[in-house]
Amino acid sequence: MVHPALYVMHFVVAAADIIFQIEYPEIEEATRPRHRFMSAYEQRVEAADKSFQYLLFAADPYETVSFKIPNAEVVAKDEGRFFTHWWVGGCPSRLMVWLKMLL
C-alpha cells in the first residue's frame, strides 16, 4: 500500500522535503526495501522530460513502485536531511528526501 507523499516547501533554505510512506506487509523479516534515483532519460514509460527524475522503491515479492519528482539536487545523507526508516510488518516504511530548489 502506498500512502500519499507529504511535500513541504522550506523557503528560507530554498529546499523541499518529500516524505514517502510505503507498506510492505509481506516482506521477509531480513529483507530491506531498496530505493534509487533514476533520470528521466533512463525510463521508457514516458517521453523524457529533463524537469523530472524518478524515485524507485523495490522489495520482494512486490513490484517496483516509482514516483516522479522534480529534477533537483538531492541533499546529501551526511547533511542529515535524507533518511530512511524501514519497518517490517504493519508499519509503513518511510524515506525522506530533501531537494534543493530554485525558488
Torsion of CA 65, 77, 74, 20, to 10 degrees: 30
- Environment class of 53 (CB within 10 Å of its CB; exposed 0-12, middle 13-18, buried 19+): buried
Task: Read off the pTM.
Answer: 0.76
Q: What is the mean pLDDT of residues 21-31?
A: 81
pLDDT in tens, 10-19: 555 566 778 8
pLDDT in tens, 47-79: 999 999 998 988 888 899 998 988 888 876 556
Cis bond upstream, residue 61 (ω within 30): yes
Select from 25, 8, 29 the least CA-distant residue to 17: 8
- Give the pLDDT of residue 97: 77
pLDDT in tens, 84-94: 777 655 567 77
Distance of CA 67 to the CA centre of its chain: 7
Q: What is the mean pLDDT of residues 42-47?
A: 90
Q: Helix, strand or coil for residue 103?
A: coil
